[in-house]
Amino acid sequence: MMQESGIEATSNGPASQNRAASVEDGSRDARPKSATSVDVMAADLIHLQQQQALQVARQILLQQQQQQQQQQQQLQLQQGTDLKSPKDNENQPSLQVPVSVAMMTPQVITPQQMQQILQQQVLSPQQLQVLLQQQQALMLQQQLQEFYKKQQEQLHLQLLQQQHAGKQSKEQQQQAQQLAFQQQLMQVQQLQQQHLLNLQRQGLLTIQPGQTALPLHSLTQGINPAELQQLWKEVTNLKEENSNNSNGRRGLDLSSPQLPKKPLLNQHASTNGQYMSHSLKREGSTLDDYQHSHHSHPLYGHGVCKWPGCEAVFEDFQSFLKHLNNEHALDDRSTAQCRVQMQVVQQLELQLAKDKERLQAMMTHLHVKSTEPKPTPQPLNLVSSVTLSKTAPHEASPPLSLPQTPTTPTAPLTPLSQAHSVITPNSIHHSVGPMRRRYSDKYNMPISPDIVQNKEFYMNAEVRPPFTYASLIRQGILESPEKQLTLNEIYNWFTRMFAYFRRNAATWKNAVRHNLSLHKCFVRVENVKGAVWTASMAENNIPLYTTASIGSPTLNSLANAIREEMIGAMDHGNSNGSDSSPGRSPLPAMHHIKEEPLDPEDHEGPLSLVTTANHSPDFDHHRDYDDDQGHDDML
């Protein structure tokens, strides 16, 4: 929690400001057309920004092309290759060509201009969003460029070492290099995928064409520089391979060897998956397809042969073609290389498919939530159903494996799991309280199914479940056949059900113990084996539905929550699903009631909750305990 708070604070505050600030210098000079920026029409401003981004990208491209050429030439010279490289390049400081940041900063908006834009409200929120994204994109480029420079130095050192150490023939070196590159490529691509997901999550990338933009505030969440650095290191180690897909693109092509694909921002209107698919498609095309255009050959870019492990430099395309036919003709080596590349592509496609699927599920899931000020479970269920149906083939603890509400239109899980369901998702819905700091109160009510329906997600993703410790503990206890768990079993449940709790054990275990002791709803019962913890029905509901947790629940919703909770618990205990409690509403009816928007003025829930829930027959042996101690803590 602390860490996340810190992250949020960082990303929302100074980080983004710093980015904006560092971009500003000299922007006026580079934007002659927007000298009267205040009066510029919003559309024009957007257009200008796009043009600026293009210019920046091109500049970076040019600069880095030069760098790369120099590097390639030096490499070839060191390795004894017979490629002719301009002599004058040898005399240059080679890899250390500093890229003047000032050259690119003029492309960006000054804070003053941004301030004016904001103050005069000449832009719609959407336009502002685009604007911010572009600004962030530029900053990202700057960061990446710095990393690239560093990495170039490292690469240079590595090459020097290679030269000294290697008595191998040129061919051996190339093959060894290629193998290493291929291996690293896999890692890099995975990193890129993950990073793209991160960027998308942070709103730096367009998620889906046609999909509504992410909240504006998400744009202010910066990219972790360390993250970028690590990624960039990986990428630059394989810049040649990675650049295969990007050569020949026109306009703002940030996927050049010096610029990883991640910075592809909204102006491209392309998602990661789409872009990758496109790239892979191109890669899979026949060579002849690219012979027509000298600038679109995937094996030729920036004057360098992009054949894996080759890196030969050519002054013109014809020379490259000659080299291609001579050096990379149909032979054993080329065939083997091609085979390796095919495997790489296959792996990438597999990975891409997985990540795309995951991304889609995540975005759908988050999108539904973020666009539901007064959420109703139906959409969430639908989304979650899709998510689980795709990602979760298995099954585990009976209670949680049933994530399906009667209102869920689709049937994502196996009938078996549903047949074994004991606690209905709706009961869980209200039994699992939200962690207030994860969700604003308005969103608390509908996230309870989240824990169930996104069970697979929480099991596999290190995402903190947005529920309180108390609610999670109670959930774990109620899921157990005996509705009681030892402390260690509670631990195990946490680690089993939530990937997030597989780390920092000391912290969350302490929190678990703390909550067990703190909340009266958790009752310690001495057993033959030792002590077990049970959760009383009455108190269980309270911490989860305090006004602080759920905002301002209506009495109806709270009462129904309790009833559902009880029904779920009794279903669990009786395993016949029958509702022995008179006067309870049928489940479907309760769903509707529960899902109604909360009434901010109806606010006295907790007390009524306790009185209602105290009649749980399954917890008679705790009732006295609860009655004695029940209300003080939770109310």
Partner DNA sequence: GAGTAGATAAACAGTA
Partner DNA sequence: ATACTGTTTATCTACT
Applying CB under 7 A, the residues found at the interface with DNA are 1-2, 5, 8-9, 433, 435-437, 440-442, 467-470, 486-488, 491, 504, 506-511, 513-518, 524, 530-531, 533, 543-544, 546-549, 551-552, 634-635
Q: How far is the CB of 469 from DNA (least distance, A)?
A: 4
Q: How far is the CB of 393 from DNA (least distance, A)?
A: 30
| Count of H-run helices and E-run strands, the chain | 29, 5
Q: How far is the CB of 613 from DNA (least distance, A)?
A: 16
CA 382 – CA 379 distance, rounded (Å): 5
Question: Alpha-carbon dihedral of residues 432, 435, 441, 443, nearest 10 degrees?
Answer: -60
H/E element, 305: strand 304-305
Q: How far is the CB of 331 from DNA (least distance, A)?
A: 59
Q: How far is the CB of 488 from DNA (least distance, A)?
A: 4
Q: How far is the CB of 500 from DNA (least distance, A)?
A: 10
* Closer residue to DNA in complex, CB, 320/469: 469
Q: How far is the CB of 437 from DNA (least distance, A)?
A: 4
Q: How far is the CB of 7 from DNA (least distance, A)?
A: 10
Beta bridge mates, 484: 534
Residues 6+ apart with CB under 8 A from 177: 309
Question: Using only C-alpha atoms, what is the Rg of the chain?
Answer: 30
Say if residues 11 and 220 touch (Cβ distance below 8 Å): yes
Say if residues 442 and 551 touch (Cβ distance below 8 Å): yes
Say if residues 228 and 263 touch (Cβ distance below 8 Å): no
CA 114 – CA 625 distance, rounded (Å): 61
Strand order across the 484-485 sheet: 484-485, 531-535, 522-526
Q: How far is the CB of 547 from DNA (least distance, A)?
A: 6
CA 603 – CA 12 distance, rounded (Å): 33
- For residue 315 the two structure tokens come to 């002054």
Q: How far is the CB of 194 from DNA (least distance, A)?
A: 23
631: exposed, middle or buried (Cβ count in 10 Å: 0-12, 13-18, 19+): middle
* Closer residue to DNA in complex, CB, 131/544: 544
CA 143 – CA 149 distance, rounded (Å): 10
Question: Alpha-carbon dihedral of residues 623, 629, 633, 634, nearest 10 degrees?
Answer: 20
CA 187 – CA 236 distance, rounded (Å): 12
* Closer residue to DNA in complex, CB, 301/543: 543
Closest CA to 178 of 315, 351, 334: 334
What values do phi and psi take at 634, rounded to 5? Answer: -85, -25
Q: How far is the CB of 531 from DNA (least distance, A)?
A: 3
CA 421 – CA 106 distance, rounded (Å): 62
Residues 6+ apart with CB under 8 A from 192: 231, 235, 260, 261, 262
CA distances to 192, 211, 502, 613, 614 from 575, rounded to whole Å, are 47, 43, 31, 20, 21
How many CB atoms are closer than 10 A to CB 236?
A: 23
